[in-house]
Amino acid sequence: MTPPPLSRRGVLAGAASLGGAALAPTAAQSAEAAEAGATGAAHRPKKAVVFRDVRPLGAKRPVDLVVVDGKVHDGPAPKGAKVVEGGGRVALPALVDAHIHPDKTSWGGDWVSRKPASGIADYCAQDVELFHSQRRPVGERAYGLMAHAVTRGTRAMRAHADVAPAYGLAGVEGIAEARERLADALDVQIVGFPQHGVIRTPGTAKLLEDAARAGLVDMVGGIDPISFDHALDEQLDLVFRLADRYGVGVDIHLHDRDEKGTRVLRGIIERTKALSLRGKVTISHVFCLPFLSPKDLAATAADLADLDIALTTVAPNESLVLPIAELKKHGVRVGLGSDGVRDSWSPFGNADMLHRAHILGWVTDVRLDEELAACYTVGTHGGADVMGLPRADFEPGSPADFILVRGENVPQVLVDMPQRDLVVHGGQVVARNGELV
C-alpha cells in the first residue's frame, strides 16, 4: 500500500540554489552532513513523558505508560521525563475521521434554518447560499470544527473540500489554513471534492487540476459519475488521469444503491488496476454494497482487496451502512467518518468520532462486548488504515495518540461516551476537559 502523503508541501533539505536551480552537494559534503546529523540525533535530548496510573484498553491494573519522542516506549523512562497523572483512567486509541466536510460547516456561528431539498442539485445550490451568507471565512469555520474534533479525541481526518466555480479553491485553502494552525494536534489529508459535478459544471475540471498540480490537495474526488454527472467514463477518466499525473490519491463519493453503483465500482476497479494505483483509491459511502447478494458481495470484496481499494462509511442507517465485518474478512480497509456537520444539508453532526462509533453500534443493533469493541476499532484503526497511518495501538513504537477517560472498559466507554479528560497527540497533551491546551 502506498498511501497519499499528509502534505505535499515538500522542501529540499540541504540544497543551495542559484538563479532558481538546486545545487547538489558533493559526495564529501553529503557524508559530512550525514555524520553530523547522526551525531546530532544521538545527542539530542529525547522528549519523554510518563503517563502515570493509566489502564490501556481498560486493563484491570493501571500501569505507567512511557512515551519517548512521540511514540510508545517499552523501556524505562529516560531521566528527567515529564510526568502526567492519569488517575486510573482508561487509555484508548485516539480516533480517526475518515470522511468529513469541514469547509461546509456553520459550526460556532448563528443558527441556520434549512429549506426543503429534493436532491444533490438542490443541496448544492443551498451550499452556495450558505457560503455567501457566512460572515466568517472558510478557514475560521473549518478551524473551529476541526479544533472541536481534537478535543473529542480525533487524531487525524480526511477532509473533503468543495471545488467548484462558485467557490474556486476557497474551501481547499481554508482547510489548509486550519490544518496549519492545528499541525501539532491533528493530521489532515485534503480531498479536492467536486460536489457540483466534474463534467456537468464547466470549470470544475480545471480547478481540480490546478489544485493537484499546485500540491494543494492530497487526493482528488468524484461524485456519482452516472446518476449525477451523467458521464461515467468522462468523470472517471479525468479523475484517474489527475491522480496518475500528479501523484495524488482518489476518493470518490458513490451514493447509488442499484446497478448504477455497481457499474461505477467496476469502472473504478478497472482504472485502479490499469494505472497501478493500488492502495491509493478510496470509495466513500458505497451504498450499493449492502444490497448485493452474498455471492456478489464476496466477489466484489475480493476485487477491492486485491487492489487495496479502501472504503468509508458514515453509518447513516441500518440499510446503508457497509457490511464491515464481511469486508474485513476479505482484507478490505474500511474507515468511519462524520460526513457533513451542521451544514446546508443537515442541522445535525458534531465531529465527535466516539459518538459516531456509538451510532455505528446503534444502527447495526450490536449487543455483545466484542461487537461493541469492534465498532470502536472501526473508528480508530479502521480510519488509520484508510489514511495510511500507523495504528495507535499502544504497541512499542506506535504513535502515542490516545485519550484518557473515566470508565470501565471499551464497550462501556463506547456506550456511555464519557468526557475526554485528556487527549494526547504525539505524546503531548493537546486537549484537556473538552478544551484545547
Helix count and strand count (H, E) for the chain = 13, 19
Q: At what angle do helices 259-274 and 232-246 cross, to 10 degrees?
A: 30
Contact 138, 338 (CB under 8 A): no
pLDDT in tens, 368-410: 999 999 999 999 999 999 999 999 999 999 999 999 999 999 9
* Beta-carbon count within 10 A of 82 CB: 14
Find how far residue 408's CA is from the centre of its chain: 28
**Average pLDDT rounded to a whole number, residues 309-333:** 97
Q: Which helix (H) or strand (E) holds 117?
A: none
Q: What is the pTM of this model?
A: 0.90
pLDDT in tens, 276-300: 999 999 999 999 999 999 999 999 9
What does the alpha-carbon distance between residue 72 and residue 395 come to, in Å, rounded to a whole number?
A: 7
Which cell numbers in the block locate residue 322? 457497509
More confident residue, 126 or 41: 126
Residue 33 confidence (pLDDT) above 90: no
pLDDT in tens, 59-117: 999 999 999 999 999 999 999 999 999 999 999 999 999 999 999 999 999 999 999 99
Residue 43: per-residue pLDDT: 53
**Average pLDDT rounded to a whole number, residues 334-360:** 97
**pLDDT category, 45, cuts 50, 70, 90?**
low
Which cell numbers in the block locate residue 80? 528527567
258-295 as b/e, with b when 16 or more CB fall inside 10 Å? Answer: eebbbebbebbbebbeebebebbbbbbbbbbbbebeee
pLDDT in tens, 147-196: 999 999 999 999 999 999 999 999 999 999 999 999 999 999 999 999 99
Q: Which helix (H) or strand (E) holds 171?
A: helix 170-181
Place of cell 546530532: 40
Q: What amino acid is encoded at 30 in this protein? A: S
Residue 44: per-residue pLDDT: 58
* Beta-carbon count within 10 A of 129 CB: 12
**pLDDT category, 46, cuts 50, 70, 90?**
confident
Residue 30 confidence (pLDDT) above 60: no
Residue 18: per-residue pLDDT: 25
